[in-house]
Structure 1
Amino acid sequence: MLEGDRLLAKLDQLRGFSRSELVRSCGYATRSEDGREHLHFSDFYEAILEAKGVHLPGQPGRGRASRSSQGRQLSFNTHVHFNGNLMVGRAYTEKLQLKPGDQFRIHLHEGGIRLTPLEPCPHQADSRVD
């Protein structure tokens, strides 16, 4: 299922397609054991809203983004750099009280990334980032 900027870019490419074709092309379709196709319109529309920055109340992991001490939102868009690195941002490391040299194991978890400290650091309260 496409999400975020990838979803919006795909929708731009598919202008003029029917709603069903859009849902299917963006990966919001499944097949049951008997071969019937199920189109997940609600999930598709919610993903579009999320990609455009609209957060629906009552949805897990959604709602108001927390802010750093400078008043900046801790939720932001990033991209994979030419060398394959992904920037996290100082606002997150400050919020989690991370210091240079802190080490983590990277886990893929429910379509996201989770960082788990290799050794608990005394200056860290909770270092999980979902």
Structure 2
Amino acid sequence: MSKKPQPLTGKELLKKVKKLGDVSREEKAIECGYYTLSGKQKRVSMVKFLNALIEAEGISLDNDATTETKKRGRSANYRINVQSNGNLSIGKAYTDKMGLKPGDEFEVVLGRKNIHLKQVEEE
């Protein structure tokens, strides 16, 4: 029994799809290797096929996030809420973005409708 070939990607995928012309999407997917074998039956992997086509065309549906933003955890949305005990908690996303370390000190400056944190410089 022969081994199933690797699915086509990139320019090879685009060439093959163009060459296949008017055949159905499912048949194109099978011809390009986007299927799995379940017994003697072929199951078409349409999502993988269409994603490979989109990628081969150079279209990125994902935002091109850096590895820093792909880390686990929440991203900074620049809004915080007052907690039930009256505290304001500034999360790790903000302190990492500013390059702050444990022990860094700030002066709290209260405005009419805002709060400013002014970093205390080391002497």
Alignment TM class, shorter chain as reference = 0.3 to 0.5
Please give the TM-score of this superposition, normalised by the length of structure 1.
0.43
